Structure 1
């Protein structure tokens, strides 16, 4: 039994899977935070609407 526990303590095969799962969790949290920050009517949709309005105004003025 002691030999098996030593073997498990030195086995590093599952470490990369654990690292990938932690990284995936961080990415999910970052995407959720970006959605909360840029979401809503005053965030990213408003930015794109202002951009479209400005481009349309420049095109209409002929500049």
Structure 2
């Protein structure tokens, strides 16, 4: 039982889940800013495609 309580092999999974939750939260908070940046990038790409020779 003591070995079970001191086993830390599952700590990596908890840390990964917390990181994913934080990233999802940031995406939700900055959703409109991210959409604006992505749209501007795609507008620039599509406007510059005619200039490629």
- Pairwise TM-score range, normalised by the shorter structure: 0.5 to 0.7
Structure exhibiting the larger radius of gyration computed from Cα positions: 1
Name the TM-score, length of structure 1 as normaliser.
Answer: 0.51
The equivalent residue for 2:8 is 15
The Cα of 1:54 is off from its aligned counterpart by: 1.2
RMSD (Å) for aligned C-alpha atoms = 2.5
**Does 1 or 2 have the higher relative contact order (CA < 8 Å, sep 6+)?**
2
Q: Could you tell me which runs of 5 or more consecutive residues in structure 2 were left unpaired when the two chains were aligned.
A: none
- Say if 2:48 is the partner of 1:36: no
TM-score (norm 2): 0.55
Runs of 4+ in structure 1 deviating by more than 6 angstroms, as ranges, are none
Taking the aligned partners of 2:48 and 2:17, their CA distance within structure 1 comes to: 43
CA distance in 1, matches of 2:20, 2:44: 33
Report the count of equivalent residues. 51
